């Protein structure tokens, strides 16, 4: 064992630090596996909705484990809240917290347990476990309550309180907890699984710090954070300086709530500013600033982190600003039961669109290898059901199957089916096995298969799941759905079409079908009825008439598209290359004839032949003018938005939203397609510094 007086820098070279990092990774993985092996609910064991994190003594992230990486940043929020509330933290204490308004995580059902790690009487670290527990009380089984108008109706909320004090179980807290939740025998087992995992993590970590030495351990963690921060900032610095704006909308029962994002890249600095987001509402839609950063940290990591550590250095590499009192940073008593599902997901989508725009303007950057349409995160939905179990006992459960939307397309490949992410190593949540679901709950799943709906483009979006099941109980089941975007679909990129929205319905025993909204509470599935859902598809990348004809013909053979739609949408005449070229030219000219005139039509004069940096997908800067990359047609002069020079093809959808396609003024190709509520302005503005400065020069 090393002594505290040793100089850490003299003994902790980069190899020793990396060895320690890998030991920590193994440790956090072991603690995570304890949760999975000890818990009993399928949401934890099958879906993998749990997380372990190790933090330093002041609550900065060291490392995390499990699939729910969005909880890593939430763990820092939880620990820092405990430290601010409790001055008498001691060895053997274990804390519980679940209130998003007061040191909790993503939503009340994501319960944190936290244990401090003391070595030589000194607080050196924390181990934090979290998992989705099946019920936390409130007005609806499962505690997702779309009809709630204040947080007091949603769930039992705990500020940081002790589950154990000095190693002694605090039975009064346990009693309050279990007295206020449904299916308490199941919830208690999952909560004790979190405690078991945290105890294993604590013991392993205390031993590792003891072996390493406190000062050497602290030096190594600081060095890992420093190097991660430098590496991430280096990747940010490769992006094109400038300000990139995208506005999206949280949808709530037919109303739209604006969420604008402005991402500013200035050297190695990256800031996401959501100023102007709609005010908080007395509904299920609200989020918190720490939740928005947590959600963004998870998805941004897929583009930025790669093989780098996901630690405090990464979290410090970017800043998120959310105005207090807005829908993204609501104050009590605002409901926050879906703080991680609805408005925050829209904020993430807007932020990632800004990131992709900046990467498009920086060919060769690290992030540019991941160019893709943004996944349909906010278009997914979850289902909570309640009713009698196989033996007649009351049950409540969460089904993740409906969230298996197809991914959006990449800049060089089609999206994947039944799987939301196009970038990254793994899906966030895995659907439970059919057999496991049927063994636990009174269901017979009739089918769970690949859907047939998809977004069209040069690279098409992936298809979502289709699911149908019936109750095997002689009594009714009651469902709650948690989703949004019945009307507003996920927009494509680079001229690709938007994805399809999710749908669900109940096929009644009498042959009638009742359509349901994505956000609904208390709908009844009677014996003999069949529940049906169709998860949305991802969005496409690139104009459909630019899709390789051989890929379209392969899609015809696979039954993904009919020969008629191939000719109408993709301009492909099967087996005839000449007819295909003619058909595609005709489609482009028809679009121009139907579109409205450009806001500021540009004279098609000669422009510098040397291609400059892109302003975004499909658009290049040449001198002080923007041109369509493929045709060279002039679109705008700096610093005006390049869309000013585009004819616009507009289609109204269901009387609530409109699809706007910005056209190449010569060929009629789609340069960009957006979907916005009727009456709203353009949703994006990309202003690389090189474009803005071209006007001054």
Contact call for residues 205 and 27 (beta carbons, < 8 A):
yes
Q: Residues with Cβ < 8 Å from 429, sequence gap 6 or more?
A: 47, 48, 49, 67, 400, 403
pLDDT digits (tens, 9 = 90+) for 186-231: 999 999 999 999 999 999 999 999 999 999 999 999 999 999 999 9
Question: Residue 554 pLDDT > 50, yes or no?
Answer: yes
The pLDDT mean for the chain works out to: 93
pLDDT digits (tens, 9 = 90+) for 78-97: 999 999 999 999 999 999 99
Structure tokens at 241: 């300086």
Question: Residue 649 pLDDT > 70, yes or no?
Answer: yes
- The pLDDT of residue 134 is 93
Q: pLDDT-based confidence at 237, cuts 50/70/90?
A: very high
- The pLDDT of residue 680 is 96
Question: Residue 1 pLDDT > 60, yes or no?
Answer: no
Question: Residue 696 pLDDT > 80, yes or no?
Answer: no
| 676, 640, 373, 303: CA torsion to nearest 10 | -130
In whole angstroms, how far apart are CA 5 and each of 14, 213, 215, 421? 20, 10, 8, 48
Q: Residues with Cβ < 8 Å from 597, sequence gap 6 or more?
A: 647
Q: pLDDT-based confidence at 381, cuts 50/70/90?
A: confident
- Percentage of the chain exceeding pLDDT 90: 84
* Cα 25-27-33 angle, rounded to 5 deg: 100
Q: pLDDT-based confidence at 482, cuts 50/70/90?
A: confident
Find out whether the peptide bond into 639 is cis, omega within 30 degrees of 0. Answer: yes
Range 96-118 average pLDDT: 95
Question: Residue 72 pLDDT > 90, yes or no?
Answer: yes
Q: What is the rounded distance in angstroms from the CA atom of residue 53 to the CA atom of residue 39?
A: 18
pLDDT digits (tens, 9 = 90+) for 652-668: 988 899 999 999 999 99
Question: Residue 309 pLDDT > 50, yes or no?
Answer: yes
**Comparing 382 with 150, which gets the higher pLDDT?**
150
**Comparing 607 with 56, which gets the higher pLDDT?**
56
Question: Residue 607 pLDDT > 90, yes or no?
Answer: no
For the chain, give me the number of helices (H) and strands (E)?
A: 15, 28
- The pLDDT of residue 376 is 87
- The pLDDT of residue 2 is 42
Rounded to 5 degrees, φ, ψ at 305 are -85, -50
Question: Residue 10 pLDDT > 80, yes or no?
Answer: no
pLDDT digits (tens, 9 = 90+) for 400-459: 888 888 999 999 999 999 888 888 865 556 778 899 899 999 999 999 999 988 999 999
- The pLDDT of residue 420 is 83
- Least confident stretch, 337-341, 358-362, 447-451, 602-606: 602-606
- The pLDDT of residue 427 is 53
Strand partners, 123: 118
pLDDT digits (tens, 9 = 90+) for 493-543: 999 999 999 999 999 999 999 999 988 899 999 999 999 999 999 999 999
- The pLDDT of residue 428 is 58
Rounded to 5 degrees, φ, ψ at 193 are -65, -40
pLDDT digits (tens, 9 = 90+) for 30-63: 999 999 999 999 889 888 899 999 999 999 999 9
Rounded to 5 degrees, φ, ψ at 10 are -75, -20
Question: Residue 674 pLDDT > 90, yes or no?
Answer: yes
- The pLDDT of residue 234 is 97
Q: What is the rounded distance in angstroms from the CA atom of residue 70 to the CA atom of residue 421?
A: 15
Q: What is the rounded distance in angstroms from the CA atom of residue 30 to the CA atom of residue 36?
A: 10
Q: What is the pTM of this model?
A: 0.95
For residue 626, the SS3 value is: strand
- The pLDDT of residue 5 is 47
Structure tokens at 666: 């010569």
Question: Residue 130 pLDDT > 80, yes or no?
Answer: yes
- The pLDDT of residue 133 is 96
């Amino acid at each position: 064992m090393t002594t505290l007086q040793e100089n850490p820098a003299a003994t902790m070279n980069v190899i020793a630090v990396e060895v320690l990092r890998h030991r920590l990774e193994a440790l956090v993985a072991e603690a995570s596996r304890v949760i999975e092996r000890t818990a009993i609910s399928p949401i934890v064991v099958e879906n993998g909705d749990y997380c372990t994190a190790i933090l330093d003594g002041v609550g900065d992230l060291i490392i995390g484990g499990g699939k729910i990486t969005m909880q890593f940043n939430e763990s820092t929020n939880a620990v820092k809240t405990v430290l601010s509330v409790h001055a008498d933290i001691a060895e053997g204490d274990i804390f519980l917290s679940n209130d998003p308004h007061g040191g909790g995580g993503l939503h009340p059902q994501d319960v944190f347990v936290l244990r401090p790690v003391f070595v030589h009487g000194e607080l050196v670290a924390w181990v934090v476990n979290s998992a989705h527990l099946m019920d936390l009380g409130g007005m609806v089984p499962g505690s997702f309550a779309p009809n709630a108008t204040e947080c007091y109706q949603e769930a039992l909320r705990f500020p940081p309180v002790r589950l154990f004090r000095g190693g002694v179980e605090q039975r009064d807290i346990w009693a309050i907890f279990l007295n206020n939740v449904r299916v308490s025998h199941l919830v208690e087992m999952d909560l004790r699984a979190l405690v078991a995992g945290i105890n294993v993590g604590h013991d392993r970590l205390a031993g590792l710090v003891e072996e390493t030495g406190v000062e050497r351990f602290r030096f190594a963690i600081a060095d890992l954070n420093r190097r991660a921060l430098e590496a991430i900032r280096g990747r940010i610095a490769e992006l094109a300086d400038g300000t990139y704006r995208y506005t999206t909308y949280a949808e709530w029962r037919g109303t739209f709530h604006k969420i604008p994002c402005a991402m500013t890249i200035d050297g190695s600095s990256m800031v996401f500013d959501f100023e102007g987001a709609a005010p908080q509402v007395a509904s299920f839609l609200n989020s918190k600033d720490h939740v928005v950063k947590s959600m963004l940290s998870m998805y941004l990591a897929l583009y930025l982190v790669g093989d780098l550590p996901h630690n405090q250095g990464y979290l410090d590499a970017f800043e998120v600003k959310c105005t207090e009192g807005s829908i993204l940073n609501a104050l009590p008593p605002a409901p926050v039961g879906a703080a991680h599902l609805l408005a925050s997901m829209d904020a993430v989508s807007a932020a990632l669109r800004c990131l992709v725009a900046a990467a498009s303007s920086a060919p060769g950057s690290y992030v540019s290898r991941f160019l893709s349409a943004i996944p349909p995160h906010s278009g997914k939905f979850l289902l909570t059901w309640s009713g009698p179990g196989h033996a007649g006992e009351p049950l409540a459960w969460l089904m993740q199957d409906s969230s298996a939307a197809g991914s959006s397309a990449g800049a060089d490949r089609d999206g994947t089916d039944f799987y939301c992410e196009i970038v990254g190593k793994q899906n966030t949540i895995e659907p439970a096995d059919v057999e496991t679901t049927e063994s636990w709950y009174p269901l017979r799943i009739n089918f769970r298969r690949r859907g047939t709906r998809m977004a069209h483009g040069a690279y098409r979006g992936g298809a979502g799941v289709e699911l149908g099941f019936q109750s095997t109980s002689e009594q009714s089941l009651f469902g709650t759905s948690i989703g949004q975007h019945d009307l507003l679909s996920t927009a494509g990129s680079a001229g690709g079409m938007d994805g399809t929205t999710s749908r669900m319905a109940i096929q009644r025993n009498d042959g009638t079908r009742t359509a349901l909204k994505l956000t609904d509470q208390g709908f009844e599935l009677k014996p003999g009825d069949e529940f049906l859902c169709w998860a949305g598809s991802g969005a496409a990348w690139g104009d459909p008439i630019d899709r390789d004809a051989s890929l379209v013909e392969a899609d015809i053979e696979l039954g993904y598209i009919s020969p008629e739609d191939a000719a109408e949408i993709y301009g492909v005449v099967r087996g005839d290359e000449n007819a295909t070229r003619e058909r595609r030219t005709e489609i482009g000219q028809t679009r121009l004839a139907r579109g409205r005139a450009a806001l500021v039509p540009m004279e098609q004069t000669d422009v510098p032949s040397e291609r400059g940096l892109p302003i975004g997908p499909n658009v290049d800067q040449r001198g002080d003018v923007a041109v369509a990359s493929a045709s060279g047609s002039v679109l705008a002069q700096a610093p005006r938005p390049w869309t000013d020079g585009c004819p616009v093809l507009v289609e109204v959808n269901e009387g609530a939203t409109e699809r706007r396609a910005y056209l190449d003024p010569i060929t009629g190709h789609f340069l960009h397609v957006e979907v916005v509520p009727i009456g709203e302005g353009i949703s994006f503005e990309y202003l690389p510094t090189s474009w803005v400065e071209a006007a001054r020069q």
